[in-house]
Structure 1
């Protein structure tokens, strides 16, 4: 998944420094999402920090970030032993920086040690950011921040460790798909949150409406995953157009001159007429689809057009082909 070639870039390279800066910015944004919108409301969005929230309810003297270290450091050591050099310095430092940042920020936004233990949202920033009556808004805001932070980190070919490593270990030793392994690990964390926070196992009493927090946690997981996918793949897919028309010359001029794109002729044959003709294969952005449709209607109202999504488009004018070690959203 990772290699060390990115560590060998020239120290003076702006791209090298920018990559590291974005990793720390991403980790900080993700940490802020947990501190302000996830931890105080006992949402359990999977991962090591979700497990840390569950354990903080059992052992309130230990911060969520500290539990992150307790999980991440052993997992990282196991991963290095099992997978060798696949985990670069970026992933190691991201995994070590994020829990520490969360702990420091938590102590800054709560007034004293007692409130750090309770993580009472009514005392967060002296009550100026208490969203206890708007839990849906809270979990969405937390998911957006966590997703943006993770997306920035993953774009730099790093991760924050955690359930990614669990997924890789399950894939290697249990033959379970990587995505399924992560789902199982996160699912176990969410269920532990339901047991501990929802039903109060091991605590003095269950949180008020605790079982509902599990539903908000699921919303948080889904929204964060969509934000990460947006960060990696963009807001929308490109569009594929298959055009059958008798006005090839005019459409060609429009595509090359006005759209500043190229297209491909595909030989086709009508099933009913048994006549051979050429079909135009064209890829455009979502914003350009309406323009192309209007132009086709203007030039040839009888044209046959099929528009469909292009999940990924690589090549000149679009994205570059990914390298072998590049992380994909899906």
Structure 2
């Protein structure tokens, strides 16, 4: 019980850090140069900009976080009904911490980085790392994630990534129509950097159990040398062919699948491989960022 409490406390700590990095990336680098995020945060930013032209809002104070919270209320209800309590609680916490940080982190009156491309890269690195840490801790920023999970559950042809692309495509089309084309294009560049960093941080934490069946007795050396992962292997006999084969078992991160696949194609293109995602790992396994 105490161990579970400690683990969950650590998860909530990383969700807090993730929310801080995400909001810092946006408020310090993206918003000052007039660019926009995707998802409900992006919708909130567009509404904020339209309201600023009609209302006298305090300088440096961003209401996008509050608007994002309002937009997420019906989505949080959907998450509670469809996905259960653990994801719901962490998503609520993530949205609340984002709301707080969006309000607390003042937007610079003069951009820290005036060059939009540089701001896209730095802001994308910070925001992507924040989203990745939140996902690693089992949380979610709400918005696109909830809609995507719901659609993927209801319709087999849908995925979270596809839903995100659709929603973000609509948002950036609106940006191009309401503001100017460069605003939409630079916002897309920022989102691409953010997505790449998110995947790198998040996928590194997804463990893959890999079983390789090969005729090459030296194949395990390649995994040891090039990936630096430990392996267990033994000699077996094929039930159908009754010929000798070697079975290799290793645990890698999801991010290492591509280099492993390339190694196998070069060393033994006829190897038979089984991969399963998300095994619980205890003991001597190196997690890499």
Tell me, yes or no, whether TM beats 0.5.
yes
Among candidates 29, 33, 42, match of residue 41 of structure 1: 33
Q: Following the alignment from structure 1 to structure 2, what is the Cα–Cα distance between the partners of residues 89 and 252? A: 43
Gaps of 5+ in 1: 1-8, 111-119, 199-210, 269-273, 294-303, 323-330
Gaps of 5+ in 2: 282-289
Label 1:188 to 1:30 Cα distance change in 2 as closer, same or farther (>3 A): same
How does 1:133-152 map onto structure 2 within 5 Å?
Answer: 134-152=115-133
How does 1:150-299 map onto structure 2 within 5 Å?
Answer: 150-171=131-152, 177-179=158-160, 180-198=162-180, 211-234=181-204, 244=215, 248=217, 261-265=231-235, 267=237, 276-279=243-246, 281=248, 283=250
Q: Helix, strand or coil: the match of 1:77?
A: helix
Among candidates 9, 15, 19, match of residue 11 of structure 2: 19
Cα RMSD after superposing both structures: 4.4
Q: Quick check: 2:213–2:273 contact (8 Å CA) kept in 1?
A: no
TM-superposed CA distance for 1:312, in Å, is 9.5
Q: Quick check: 1:264–1:281 contact (8 Å CA) kept in 2?
A: yes
Figure out how many residues of one structure are paired with residues of the other and give that number: 258
Q: Following the alignment from structure 1 to structure 2, what is the Cα–Cα distance between the partners of residues 279 and 263? A: 7
Q: Helix, strand or coil: the match of 1:262?
A: strand
Q: Following the alignment from structure 1 to structure 2, what is the Cα–Cα distance between the partners of residues 253 and 225? A: 34
Label 1:168 to 1:243 Cα distance change in 2 as closer, same or farther (>3 A): closer
Q: Quick check: 2:80–2:88 contact (8 Å CA) kept in 1?
A: no
Q: Following the alignment from structure 2 to structure 1, what is the Cα–Cα distance between the partners of residues 274 and 125? A: 23
Q: Following the alignment from structure 2 to structure 1, what is the Cα–Cα distance between the partners of residues 251 and 152? A: 37
Q: Helix, strand or coil: the match of 1:59?
A: helix
TM-superposed CA distance for 1:79, in Å, is 3.8
Q: Quick check: 2:232–2:248 contact (8 Å CA) kept in 1?
A: no
* Residues 22-72 of structure 1: CA deviation (Å, up to 9, x unaligned): 111111111101111111122223111111222222111362222212212
User: After alignment, is 149-158 or 44-53 more displaced?
Assistant: 44-53
Q: Quick check: 1:57–1:197 contact (8 Å CA) kept in 2?
A: no
Q: Following the alignment from structure 2 to structure 1, what is the Cα–Cα distance between the partners of residues 87 and 207? A: 31
Q: Following the alignment from structure 1 to structure 2, what is the Cα–Cα distance between the partners of residues 156 and 278? A: 40
Please tell me whether Structure 1 or Structure 2 has the larger radius of gyration of its CA atoms.
Answer: 1
- Give the TM-score, by structure 1 length: 0.62
